[in-house]
Structure 1
């Protein structure tokens, strides 16, 4: 989902809170004795233990396994009744060490039922409802025999009871479900339809029953869909969508029957786009209302797509689409295709005219810096029912977005390809590993795009122009009711979802990269994490352990303070004297840690000739001390000494960061 701007009222509340926090701490200081080295550096209990499946290095263990789900999907979209009829066959492979006598599936259209659990837990409850999935039949095929299955539906989950258990370590079973449902309108949030000048725009996600994950952490993970996101198995998809011939379908993966659904002109333009860094029009605005832009005038057409090694597929469909495309240049000479589809209302460089440029640049940046984009196409689709949502190979973004916002949301949504499409995070339980990690990589993409045309992202979401993100996090850290990052995503109130799940998680990685580890060690370690857990399901502990092992740092103090707790930082310079009272022998700078969080920091001494000297205080300084006397060599008079002089740490009391010699009575020879 997008790194959205907070509502004005919430932004103002956060800013007022920031002022109050800074004022109150400047006036009173931190509570004496609130920092305890024994607490900060106590042995850290990782949330998940080391097993034969997951090693102490954060890597998959020698017995690591993962189940697989391959899909054959067929669906008819009826835009007159706003109705979908489908048939899903799931070929499931049980690689676990356990025989499975039931299967659990997600039937998430039930989220739109009036009695859905999510209506009682979320602040974003739909005001309209559907009757959810209508299941026509469920059949199971095992060992060459097909039988009607017994099943039970519970909210957004379905349990299928098998006639015989699926054998461990490679057993297979196939389930075929025939179903239908009425589409939610623009209240769907993650799926639905909404109007445009030339027809409805359909944004279709969660449109088929999907397998729940069975893993080594908790067996079947059957967390209901309340309004959070997803946790899915990987596999290959073969799917077909039948729509009226007047509609264009933009879907995840590769279109395998272009001769059937595109005109000769459109196929020629696509071929040109595959070799073009400049955007090529596939269907122009003038052609949207031209019947000749479709291969036949009436009846239906079936669009056939395939996608390999993915966890999901989604599609958009409309009579209203303008369509353009350009080549994506990937590492090792590989190519992919960036495409945008949007209504006439969104035409022009002040709207969606540069969408494909943004999409192409984002994918190229993420691919070069972190891990290559794995899919044949990347699609940006403009609508309003599900705007700001991500799926493999396609993202749904707001049709009314202007350039800066469109660049931001495009980069963020396609950035979800890396988290959680490639790195298969359990978003329903650990959304901070999804939204926060993706927001983190967005920071550097914004800096890179056209030399920072829309940068900096890092202070554009909460802060006023010129604001500092380490100050913007202070109200959250000071809020006693704010959740820690290590909390189930569905338990985080909407008030805190964005500040914690997106912003605090992303800022934590920025601090790790730029202040704690350094890019030269962080970047290879983070790339190793992505490559190691590509198409697998890492836990928080896997991330913590791998980053420590690869970067060569014990970071348990940071995991405890920033992720397990919501601790504050308050470093202070409390005194400056000269060695033996003689400035020629150097200065003694006393630095104190006054609150519960610890961080490495820089101390800067400024001399009377304007020169400065920096000394780096490592985090180990605070393992045995609450106060540390730092000797700084030099033979000049000191004007001042400051901790964190470049304002890069989330220190909640800036008033005590600097000690000014002119206001002290310290003498010298």
Structure 2
């Protein structure tokens, strides 16, 4: 048959979405004039467990490093997604979007699935020595503050003071919630404070509303103070600054022991959960103070029922961090949360060694009702998690430390730079932990000798499927994972294993991570860096795999003597291995480069070996996403 492949489409010149300029260089690295604004926070929060409310006094210190004078500021109000008139609720026909815990609470709140969102007691602007009431409007999950005096460029700074409170969602809240475990409440507090929208060189204020997909945030420094009932343990992002105020001497000593132990040390044991002596006071409240530098977010969780354990994380260059886990008693078990700190430690150590060193003082895994969600230095997982799934989940959620917590891409616009990159690095952790005990993890590559994941081929075959470049909220529910997670990750597998090879890929990807650590890369920056450092023009791959859902289909057409004719019947090209088996049982292989299809759709290979051919097969190892394997092999009668 005549090949439908058109090389003029595949190899046409490609203009990437974001141009090269003084802010973003042609080699994919930040440009000589790259700038980024900064948002630092001081937060004083009080948890009202009776009313299920959080009351907070917030100060945002915002620094405008851009070359632009800013007449207004935009602030994200993500709690407003729970309002009955929110875009997120209305667009989904009243069904709550987002994650739900994998364990139902023992006793839930009345079935109410909306709140009033943020309720502001005051909003003020402090500029210089002047503090005045802010002129602001609220639109869905955003607030615009209109400044009486514009904020100057190149280092202009002001403070925003916000006093607010809100009703804490129940388990239906998804990424933030409260629920009742068997022995006590657990509060998972995320998206708990108004935070600055990003102002960048790509589009000015990025004000995409929060309707279900994740986040895009500025970096800064955080001091946050959480006042809770004295019987509660609080786990949060960053370093606990005041352990003497909130822990017993025994717990402080055990914590110090854990900092120097590769084996898990219990800070608060299962037997101590109901022992009043495990808390420094028996009534009233305690205020926990945490600090975290150079981060884009902080979260925390509080419960009277937490078991707490920890172990040392060994980082490159002799540095250390602390792996910790908190969980209710019912989560304990040798195949369950008893292993959490060990999994956390191993994941952080391995990814730090292979890709980029972990920078923060602690990595905390928390069991609660907002499971399967990641934040800087903290992950929320499920109370009933156990077995291989719990290992995979821990590795995946902590893998997000690198994407997008360290490499701060825009999750709402480019989910593949978040979920796809992270799913890709998960493969390594599953393959190496405990000699591959939980491997292989095959979300994104072939099983040995098997077929590619059905979800990926279904995406390539589905005319309605969005591309990898689609905004995260635009994915239909059934295609979100196949596109952003699995196709995104499989693209990385193809880049590393088939196109660049591990040596070139690892060098280029490590440089990309280092260059964009705590910065805001675009897809174009990633594409350019992988090309420049990988030493390959990859425009054909970006166009076929990312900008389109093109199919790959290479077929063996005929065998005539020592000549083999192969055709490309799809529009996607990839380096392709062809194996010839001769009738004397010997074999030979060739890997056809993508340039094979630079100007034609049919390739004739004349073999030097004139021994009669028994069979020819393309992609003999099943490592490519071939859309039709029935034409991959031809046998000579």
TM-score under structure 1 normalisation?
Answer: 0.91
Q: Does 1:595 align with 2:559?
A: no
Q: Choose the corresponding residue for 1:616, options 578, 591, 602.
A: 591
Aligned to 2:84: 114
Aligned to 1:577: 560
Q: Does 1:128 align with 2:126?
A: no
Contact kept in structure 1, 2:430 and 2:438, CA below 8 Å: yes
> What whole-Å deviation, never above 9, does each CA across 1:334-375 have from its counterpart, x for those lacking one?
110000000000111122110111111111111011000111
CA distance in 1, matches of 2:449, 2:563: 34
CA distance in 2, matches of 1:116, 1:435: 26
Aligned length: 622
Q: Does 1:505 align with 2:488?
A: yes
Aligned to 1:559: 542
CA distance in 1, matches of 2:355, 2:315: 12
CA distance in 1, matches of 2:543, 2:18: 14
Distance 1:470 1:517, change over 3 A: farther
Unaligned runs of 5+ in 2: 98-111
- Shift of residue 477 of structure 1? 0.4
Q: Choose the corresponding residue for 1:639, options 575, 599, 614.
A: 614
Q: Does 1:83 align with 2:44?
A: no
Aligned to 1:254: 239
- Shift of residue 34 of structure 1? 2.5
CA distance in 2, matches of 1:471, 1:181: 44
- Shift of residue 462 of structure 1? 11
Q: Does 1:390 align with 2:374?
A: yes
- RMSD across aligned positions (CA): 1.5
Aligned to 2:34: 64
Unaligned runs of 5+ in 1: 1-28, 579-586, 663-669
Aligned to 2:466: 483
Aligned to 1:540: 523
CA distance in 2, matches of 1:94, 1:597: 44
CA distance in 2, matches of 1:401, 1:513: 32
Contact kept in structure 1, 2:445 and 2:493, CA below 8 Å: no
- Shift of residue 471 of structure 1? 5.0
Contact kept in structure 1, 2:183 and 2:305, CA below 8 Å: yes
- 1:525-536 matches, within 5 Å, as 525-536=508-519
Specify the SS of the correspondent of 1:458: coil
Aligned to 1:157: 142
Contact kept in structure 2, 1:349 and 1:403, CA below 8 Å: no
CA distance in 2, matches of 1:357, 1:269: 17
CA distance in 2, matches of 1:577, 1:544: 41
Contact kept in structure 1, 2:445 and 2:623, CA below 8 Å: no
> What whole-Å deviation, never above 9, does each CA across 1:78-128 have from its counterpart, x for those lacking one?
112111000110000001010001110001110000000001224852671
CA distance in 1, matches of 2:387, 2:341: 12
Specify the SS of the correspondent of 2:231: coil
CA distance in 2, matches of 1:597, 1:416: 30
- Shift of residue 473 of structure 1? 1.5
CA distance in 1, matches of 2:182, 2:555: 60
> What whole-Å deviation, never above 9, does each CA across 1:544-602 have from its counterpart, x for those lacking one?
00100000000000000000000111101111223xxxxxxxx2221110111111111
Q: Choose the corresponding residue for 2:421, options 427, 433, 437.
A: 437
Specify the SS of the correspondent of 1:513: helix
Contact kept in structure 1, 2:40 and 2:222, CA below 8 Å: yes
Q: Choose the corresponding residue for 2:501, options 518, 521, 534.
A: 518
Contact kept in structure 2, 1:243 and 1:300, CA below 8 Å: yes
Q: Choose the corresponding residue for 1:374, options 353, 359, 362.
A: 359
CA distance in 2, matches of 1:303, 1:494: 39
Contact kept in structure 2, 1:462 and 1:472, CA below 8 Å: no
Aligned to 2:386: 402
Distance 1:605 1:463, change over 3 A: closer
Q: Does 1:51 align with 2:21?
A: yes
Aligned to 1:358: 343
Q: Choose the corresponding residue for 1:169, options 140, 144, 154.
A: 154
Specify the SS of the correspondent of 2:13: coil
CA distance in 1, matches of 2:623, 2:438: 22
CA distance in 2, matches of 1:454, 1:279: 20
Distance 1:661 1:462, change over 3 A: closer
Which moved further from structure 2: 470-479 or 434-443? Answer: 470-479
Specify the SS of the correspondent of 2:171: coil
Which moved further from structure 2: 465-474 or 121-130? Answer: 465-474
Specify the SS of the correspondent of 2:558: strand
Aligned to 1:666: none
Aligned to 2:106: none
Q: Choose the corresponding residue for 1:336, options 281, 297, 321.
A: 321
Which moved further from structure 2: 267-276 or 469-478? Answer: 469-478
- Shift of residue 463 of structure 1? 9.4
Contact kept in structure 2, 1:590 and 1:627, CA below 8 Å: yes
